[in-house]
Structure 1
Amino acid sequence: MSDLSKNWMILFVLGCLSVLAGILALLNPFGATLAAELLAGWSFLVIGVAQIINAFREEEWGGRLWTILLGVVALLAGISLVMNPLAGIITLTVVLGLMFLVSGIFKLIVGFRVHDSALKWAVIVSGIISILLGLMILSNFPGSAVVALGVMLAVELLSNGVTAIALAWSRKSGGVHAAA
């Protein structure tokens, strides 16, 4: 019996926990938004410190200076997000809306260049959805700031949880085998 089929229960439990967390995030999108913002802030803090420490491993001064600069920027972003979470929510919501718009535009460009018609339309539809999501977030701004990140987090948790549960059941039944 492979490790994958032995450990299906752990994956199943993690999937159930992810689904539960996704439901809780949907029930309290502002709380989930705040949690996502603080997670981003602490992540930037850790990344900034790690980059600054790593800068002293660089052999060239040019690389060291750029690494220190990027580390300081990440550190300052993290401090700003952690110290002022409500302003961070506003900033991250704008970034999320703009990210969806830019992503959608690039998907449309790629979609119109694809020759396979099934793939072409899938990419174009995905681009349109991304643009619409971006417009929805930005057109309802700042009202969307209190829920947008939380709802996105909830959808991600639900999606990951359902996928993990499906994979666990597949492992239990022997449908997924370990790579040799």
Structure 2
Amino acid sequence: MGDITRSWWLLLLRGLASILFGFLALIWPAITLFVLVTVFGAYALVGGVFELLAGFRHGAESRAWLIISGIFGILVGIATFIWPGITSLALLFIVAFWAIVTGVLEIVAGIRLRKTIDNEWMLIIGGALSVIFGILLLVWPVSGLLSLVWLVGIFAILHGVAEIALAFRVKNFTRRVGMP
């Protein structure tokens, strides 16, 4: 418990960053979606090039895998720029599964912390919101990718508020038990 109480301010910063990201996504939804797809495409393309180069520099035992992985990364990067709509839909599914997995982990963490801190329900609610968000994305993927950006923005703000509330609870817990 000492590790989390000493770094309460990291939870606070994470919450503030989440709220800032959420507001930016709501203000500029089209730009947010375009940036997400573009950054992913650039990442896949550049990563593929570097893996391909590494494949030509390594020994025979890892060369084939690096070259294949590099070519695949380059193709994914190019496909992202040629078909940004399909990439957007794929990102929608990645975000959905990420939200569900992290939400479940936050719920588990909240349940485990219930004996250590008061009001652990804030972490559990943040996790539940994350799971609900992920499920909604899976149920209605065609409802529009701009609506995904809006959902991401709203989720980020609500999750940020939950993180900030948790940060202050952890900070107050530290003071109550006299930890440094």
Confirm or deny a common fold (TM above 0.5).
Answer: yes
**1:36 corresponds to which residue?**
36
C-alpha deviations, 1:13-42, integer Å up to 9, x for none?
Answer: xxxxxx7x9766433312321221122111
How many angstroms apart in 1 are the aligned matches of 2:150 and 2:77? 19
Give the letter for the 2:93 counterpart: V
* Offset, 1:111: 4.1
**1:127 corresponds to which residue?**
127
How many angstroms apart in 2 are the aligned matches of 1:114 and 1:72? 45
* Counterpart check, 1:105 vs 2:104: yes
Q: Give the match's secondary structure for 1:56.
A: helix
How many angstroms apart in 1 are the aligned matches of 2:22 and 2:99? 21
Contact 1:89-1:145 at 8 Å conserved across structures: yes
1:60-79 superposed matches below 5 A: 61-79=60-78
Distance 1:142 1:68, change over 3 A: same
Distance 1:54 1:152, change over 3 A: farther
Structure 1 vs Structure 2 CA RMSD: 3.2
* Offset, 1:100: 0.8
C-alpha deviations, 1:120-165, integer Å up to 9, x for none?
Answer: 5454333212202212322332124224247647969xx8xxxxxx
Give the letter for the 1:86 counterpart: G
C-alpha deviations, 1:32-85, integer Å up to 9, x for none?
Answer: 2122112211111011101111222323x2322222222222222111111111
Distance 1:57 1:26, change over 3 A: same
How many angstroms apart in 1 are the aligned matches of 2:63 and 2:94? 28
Tell which has more relative contact order, 1 or 2 (C-alpha 8 A, sep 6+): 1
Give the letter for the 1:89 counterpart: S
Q: Note the residue ranges of structure 1 that are not aligned, 5 or more in a row.
A: 1-18, 160-180
Identity score, percent: 23
1:77-92 superposed matches below 5 A: 77-92=76-91
How many angstroms apart in 1 are the aligned matches of 2:95 and 2:70? 22
Contact 1:25-1:151 at 8 Å conserved across structures: no
How many angstroms apart in 1 are the aligned matches of 2:126 and 2:46? 33
How many angstroms apart in 1 are the aligned matches of 2:149 and 2:53? 31
How many angstroms apart in 2 are the aligned matches of 1:24 and 1:46? 27
How many angstroms apart in 1 are the aligned matches of 2:51 and 2:35? 24
